[in-house]
Structure formats: structure tokens, C-alpha cells
Amino acid sequence: MAQKLQDKVVIVTGGGTGIGRELCKLFAAEGAQVVIADIDRDAADETLGMITGNQYPGVAITLDVGSAKSWVILQEQVSNAYGRCDVLCNNAGVFRTGEFDTAPLADWFLQSRINIDGVILGCKTFAPDMVAQGQGNIVNTASLSGLLAAPGLTTTHTASKFAVVGYTLALRNELVDKGVQVSALCPGAIDTPMNHGIDVPLENRLVPPLEVAEKVVAAIKANDGRQFIFTHPEFLSMLEEQYQSVLQEHSSLQRT
């Protein structure tokens, strides 16, 4: 059932830049009360300064998504200020390049902490409150590389995004009958500094962050239970090829 975002309390992690910044601006334009959460407080404050024309000015909060303690503090702040959370966009993420045998283990630990732990901690923190109030929307930012092991993308980044997709789908199964919608955002390459200069197949078209944010906000307003939010229609053939091969290999069990 479609919903309006007027007066909704929305938390966006990584709200200081890129997709997160555009999400905050769009949610504010819809009349939502926006919590801009980012480890870079200066960037969050800059986003806050871009929110205009809304009766709610929004709030910028420092958040380390990989820290359970940081999430507890955020929950206390949100609870004291608003009493609830209606929408959670687990948007913060990092990307590291390098071949599997040369990329330092530190790159994996960082991507695991931010990309995976950050999503799980966010959901663990606010999903129970959404269940208690009987409604809510969660959008976890994965990637098209969470569905495709595309050539040129690092093993560690791909693994972290596959984990986000898996967690999101499993959580969706748990919450679908409790009034909470859970979706995975799976964009291709986005025109942000993090993706500049990376020569991989998903880099064929850099989508502006605003275009991605518009799709997310439209999906949340539609509130139609979709599992995925996509951005690049040109990669449909890659998805079809990969999952058709999976089905074909599985069907071989019937022939043995």
C-alpha cells in the first residue's frame, strides 16, 4: 500500500555524501524528519545545510556504523528526539580494489566491518522498534556485485555485497508479516569519487547519485514489498546469463 513520507522519521547512514546526501535532501523535500548519520560530522553538517523548505530542519549525528556502541548512542538520540524510526536506509559503504592475492587483509576487514556489520547492526538496532510499532521500511545498500561476480571487481567487495543481499532477503522473510518492508538496493556504478577511475564492466555508465536516490524514495513510497531496487537496466542480460546458468546446472540433478 502506497504511503506518504510527510512527518516520517528517516535515518540515512552515510548521509554526508553521494547517494546518502541525495536521499536526505529528497526525504526532507517529502516532509520527513531526517537524521543524517555519518562518521564524517563535517560532511553530515554540510548535507544538513542543503535541506531547505521543510518544517523539520533535520539533524546531523556522528555515527560509526561498524560500532555497536555508536548505534546504541544513535538509538538513544533518535528515541529522545522523535520516539520512533519509520525508515532506515543502511547506505554507508566502502570499496577497495586489488587482486585476491595482493589485496591486504585489512581491506577485507574494513569492508566487512562497514558493508556487512554496519547493515546488520543498523537492522538489529531499529527493526525491533519497527516491529513493535507495526510498520517501517528498511533499505540496505548492496550492489549489483551482490548478485553478480563480475570480472574486475574484487573478491572481498563482492563477498561483502553478497552478504548484504543474503542478510536482507533473510530478514525480509522474517519481517514480511510484521508490517516491515525490507529491500536491497543493488546499483551498478554510481558517479561518486569512490568509483572514479575504476575500469570494470559495471563502470560502463556512471549513474548520478540523485537518480539512485529517486528510485529508493519512490520504492519506499510505493511500499509494495519489493525485494530489490535496481538502477541499471542494461545489466539485465548479465543477470539473466548468470542465473540461467545456475538453473541449468541445478536441473542437471534430474538427469543423473
User: For residue range 149-203, what is the model confidence (pLDDT) as tens digits?
Assistant: 876 678 899 999 999 999 999 999 999 999 999 999 999 877 665 554 555 554 4
CA pair distance 25, 19, nearest whole angstrom: 10
pLDDT on residue 195: 54
9-255 maps to which CATH number?
3.40.50.720
Give domain limits for the chain.
Answer: 9-255
Predicted TM-score of the model (pTM): 0.92
- Does pLDDT of 1 surpass 80? no
Cβ atoms of residues 162 and 113 within 8 Å: no
User: For residue range 95-154, what is the model confidence (pLDDT) as tens digits?
Assistant: 887 777 888 899 999 999 999 999 999 999 999 999 999 999 999 999 998 998 876 678
CA pair distance 209, 190, nearest whole angstrom: 6
Cβ atoms of residues 83 and 5 within 8 Å: no
Nearest by Cα to 9 from 126, 102, 113, 104: 126
